[in-house]
Structures are given as structure tokens and as C-alpha cells.
Amino acid sequence: MLNAIRKNGAVLAIFACASTGVVALTHYLTKDQIQQQEQAQLLSVLNQVIPHNLHDNDLYQACTLITDPSLGTDKPMPVYMATLNGQPSALAIEAIAPDGYNGAIKLIVGIKQDGTVLGSRILSHQETPGLGDKIDLRVTDWILGFNGKTLTEENQSTWKVRKDGGQFDQFTGATITPRAVVKAVRNTVQYVNDHRTDILSQPLNCGGNNE
């Protein structure tokens, strides 16, 4: 019986090693394809928050990393710098809404050189389906409510959900999620308004430029 146990153990060990090898080989063979798909998805989002008519450069390559707690995290976040005819035209900056109902919400905001919000998209979230997930454009068009907005000293108090006296709709039964996103977009726009010159002077160090 001891020999049978040893034999079965050896067979299991062989299968485990073989499975590990297959997983490692699959990862190696598909790594470049996965990276290309991720880049294509990011480019699609970038072109949604910064329209084609506002840039003639490669947004993915024109990337720098910014670290500031006002972006909702202490980790470096990428900023993509759009130029048109060699002149800065817009920025797309990633940020975190740390206070979502089910955790952190990752988003990106496109901001024109004059401070106008061109668009915003949710990159990842864990919000409740049917409630908080309405921030996702695949579910509702709520996120489009930021388009064309500006942030000034005079209108800062309106950058809240309506329940808090602001201009942005909340969701029935789910106020925490839109409140978190509105706050994150507002903080991101404020950061860009305050630091645009500094951002544009940063070296390109992401989007493949640091490889």
C-alpha cells in the first residue's frame, strides 16, 4: 500500500509540474498579445476623453507619471499629454476615487488646455451591479455629465451630487458611488488647473518610454 501511495504521489507531482509548465508557457506566449490588447483598450479610452481633432501625437507614448495625494492615491499616476501642431492641447490624467461604496474606483479625465472637461471614463470599479455600476458608460451615460464642465472658484460648491446641493445626479439607492466619482473628478480638474505648467514640463517616463 505504501508503494501505491508513493506511486500516486509521484503521478500527482508530475501532473502538477506539467500544469505549471503549461501555465508558464501560455503566459510567455501570450504576454505580448495581452499587452497589445491592453494598449489598444487604453488608446480607445484616451481617444474618447481627448477627441482626435485635438491631437496629432501618439497619446500612449506622450506619458508622464505624477504623484500627488489629491489624485486619490500615493502611487504614481499616468498623465497623457496631447499636442496639436506641436502645441499643448489637452491632458488625460488617471486618478482614484478611494471612497467608493465597494472600494477604490479608477478613472481617467480628459481636460482641455483651457480647463474644460472633455470627458471622463471609469477604468475599473467593484460597485454593486444595478446600483453603483451606473457610473460605467456600458451601463448608463451618467459619466457624460462631466463633459463641457469647468471648475472655478465661483462654481466649486456645485461640484457635488444634487443631494449635497450640487449639479450632478445621484442614483436611487446609491449616493456614495456618484459622490465619490464627482469628488475625484473635481479634485483631478483642480490639480490640473493648479499644476498644468509643471505637468507639461515633466519628462516622458511611461507608456513604453521607460522600457
Closest-CA residue to 180 (of 65, 102, 63, 77): 102
Cβ atoms of 46 and 59 closer than 8 Å: yes
Instruction: Please give the Cα distance from 95 to 32 (Å, whole number).
Output: 26
Q: Which residue has the cell 471648475?
A: 151
Position 111 confidence tier, pLDDT thresholds 50, 70, 90 = very high
54-89, pLDDT tens digit by residue?
A: 999 999 999 999 999 999 999 999 999 999 999 999
Which cell numbers hold the place of 183?
469628488
Amino acid at 99: D
Structural contact between residues 161 and 178, judged by C-beta atoms closer than 8 angstroms: yes
The more confidently predicted of residues 29 and 78 is 78
Spatial contact of 158 and 145, defined as CB atoms under 8 Å apart = no
* Residue of 97, 113, 108 whose CA lies nearest to 47: 108
Query: Residue 32 phi/psi, 5° resolution?
Result: -65, -40
The pLDDT tens digits of the residues spanning 166-200 come to 999 999 889 999 999 999 999 999 999 999 999 99
User: What is the pLDDT at residue 117?
Assistant: 98
Residue predicted with more confidence, 35 or 190: 190
Secondary structure class of 81 (helix, strand, coil): strand
What pLDDT, on a 0 to 100 scale, did the predictor assign at position 41? Answer: 77
C-alpha cell at 147: 463633459
pLDDT at 28: 47
* pLDDT value of residue 211: 46
Q: Is the pLDDT of residue 93 over 70?
A: yes
Amino acid letter for position 185: V
d(CA 65, CA 50): 18
Name the pTM for this structure.
Answer: 0.81
Residue 159 near residue 151 (C-beta atoms within 8 A) = yes
Computed over every residue of the chain, the mean pLDDT equals 87
User: Which of the four pLDDT bands, split at 50, 70 and 90, describes residue 42?
Assistant: confident
Q: What is the mean pLDDT of residues 86-104?
A: 97
What is the grid cell recorded at 175?
449616493
